[in-house]
Amino acid sequence: MITKYKPRPKRPAGELPAKNFSDQSAKIGAPDYQGSKLKIMVLGGLEEVGRNMTVLEYGQEIIIIDMGLQFPEEDMPGIDYIIPNISYLEDKTDRIKGIIITHGHYDHIGGIPHLMGKLGNPPMFMGKLTAGIVRKRGQEFNKCPKLDIQEIDEISKMQLGKNFRVEILRVNHSIPDCFAIIVHTPAGTVIHSGDFKIDYSPVNDKPADLNRIAQLGGQGVLLLMSDSTDATHTGYQISESSIGDEMGKIFEKLDGRIIIGTFASQLSRVQKLFDLAERFGRRINLQGRSMNDNVEIAHQIGYLKFNPRILVEDHELDRLPDNKVMIVGTGAQGESNAFLTRVVNGEHRSVNLKAGDTVIFSSSVIPGNERSIQTLMDMMVRQGAKVINYEMMDVHAGGHAKQEDLKLMMRLIKPEYFMPIEGNHYMLRAHAELAEQVGIPKNKILVADNGQIVEFHKSAGGGAIGRLTKDKVITDYVMVDGLGVGDVSNIVLRDRRVMAEDGMIVIIATVDSKTGDTIGNPDIISRGFVYMRENKELIQKTRMKVKKIVKDHDPRTPADDDYIKNKIRNDIAQFLFSQTKRRPMVLPVVIKV
């Protein structure tokens, strides 16, 4: 049975949504299971940027932090995204006491609609904006159960089961309502940073309480799990407020339309754009479903502040002078179906590029998208537009702490153990080196792989001893492709890659069921391999090869379909490679008549 958090009936705004720590009925330090160990395993986010999901287990109780998705890599044709593998949890759903979500980005919430039903739909705790985005996303999936969401803020405290007391710490990122999670366990206090940066003047958000962070450090922290996304970048992260100032200088010089590409989740950036539109007398046109949805949700709950009259619909754009228009949309990463790409390709129903337009890429480049973005910018310039990106001017502030900010966080918290999370392995190693620089002993820095179990147990002296075990839980990719979840295996991906690289050839052989001889010439269909009209000699040689393969069987025995198919597949593959040095996928079809 799932132990669910029970909120107070109709609590006033601002009141704690869960039990205060003064409730002594589940006192930490007197665990329900003597000799139990605290186990921590990250199911995604230690070998990639994305798919973030962390499991904390003590005795027979489990809590989960985040449940995100990862966007596909270049060698995953057709895959929409990847979600965590929850095989370890599927027979332990009665132990899950709650799920805490750090913020509303898809790499932290994207797996929720797919996984909550399999996890028994335990209670979830998240900020108000995050809750709005998660509810909206859940409605788009028929198999997603009605989610039990409890809204929290920085003063919330929850008792989850008997072994986990949770506090919330507000941090800054590129979207409001971002939290670090403080988990008090019988083994000690664990802090999960979530995505964060140090921003002393955030947009539409409160700055992180550095005094409280220092107080936590003074009380003793067993383990800090910290965001490593920008651990390879030196210095301090730029404040979001400074981006608005830089863009204001750009806007002063522009008379044509301004088209801005950014992430739909960069709501702090979007607020700055609304402020600048009002300042320069421009109307805003929003493009992209996710952009429209996020702006609507954030405006309804008061996180985005603007006069609705500033918005303009597509059909009204032609009525406005160019110097009164700002178009904000998605596609700054060169995504094939996003707003900016459709505009450049002339496929958008109401927006076309023209001379005098200025396109601002207000986002950094996600690794792997460099070529797509460069192609997009080239096409824009050819169509007469001017392009500005973050490398030319400060039109983008990252949402993740850089090296000096990361070191500040470690110095304030002073953890006994340190575990870098949220990044590729080289990012984790870079973060581990920073930890050494601030004085954390190397043997207390835990750099793990996905699924590798980190274990803490009580020592004779009363403290806790941590270690990185050799045990691992399953963290294989679960790929989402259309309506299919987990039904695309590595074998299917391999076949897609083969077809993408060398194409395919279909060989249809009609065989006499009595004699085993071919009837007529085999039919051949080539897709992505060779153009048949220009390679008649190769196609004819292939036909003759197939006829010989079929004829070479023992005439005293009926031809076996599988034998013939395998023979055609193997021999023709070798023949085509000898002729072309390419390895197309060979698909034999044998029809007996």
Terminus-to-terminus CA distance in the chain, angstroms? 61
Residue 85's identity, in one-letter code, is N
- Structural tokens at position 407: 């070191």
Query: Minimal CA–CA distance to 569: which of 542, 591, 530?
Result: 542
Report the alpha-carbon distance of residue 176 to residue 196 in Å, rounded. 11
Q: Which secondary-structure segment (H or E) carries 453?
A: strand 452-458
- What is the 3 state secondary structure string of 195-236? CCECCCCCCCCCCCCHHHHHHHHHHCCCEEEEECCCCCCCCC
State yes or no: is 227 an active-site residue: yes
- Structural tokens at position 88: 């370890």
Q: Which secondary-structure segment (H or E) carries 171?
A: strand 164-171
Q: Which residues in 356-397 belong to E strands, given as ranges? A: 358-361, 386-389
Residue 381's identity, in one-letter code, is V
Among candidate residues 66, 177, 227, 405, the one labeled active-site is 227
Report the alpha-carbon distance of residue 515 to residue 554 in Å, rounded. 10
Report the alpha-carbon distance of residue 589 to residue 546 in Å, rounded. 11
Phi, psi of 255, deg, nearest 5? -110, -20
Long-range contact set of residues 249-254: C-beta below 8 Å, sequence gap at least 24: 250/358, 250/360, 250/388, 250/393, 250/395, 251/276, 251/279, 251/280, 252/280, 254/323, 254/358
**Which distant-in-sequence residues (6+ apart) come within 8 Å of 130 by Cβ?**
101, 103, 104, 109, 177
Report the alpha-carbon distance of residue 402 to residue 105 in Å, rounded. 19
Report the alpha-carbon distance of residue 450 to residue 70 in Å, rounded. 14
State yes or no: is 517 an active-site residue: no
Among candidate residues 108, 114, 184, 400, the one labeled active-site is 400
The residue behind tokens 């539109």 is 277
The residue behind tokens 């210095």 is 235
Pairing of strands 417-421, 504-511: unpaired
Report the alpha-carbon distance of residue 276 to residue 262 in Å, rounded. 15
Report the alpha-carbon distance of residue 175 to residue 122 in Å, rounded. 25
- What is the 3 state secondary structure string of 517-545? CECCCCEEEEECCCCHHHCHHHHHHHHHH
Is 239 strand, coil or helix?
coil
Dihedral over alpha carbons 433, 438, 439, 441 (to 10 degrees): -30
Residues serving a catalytic function are 227, 400
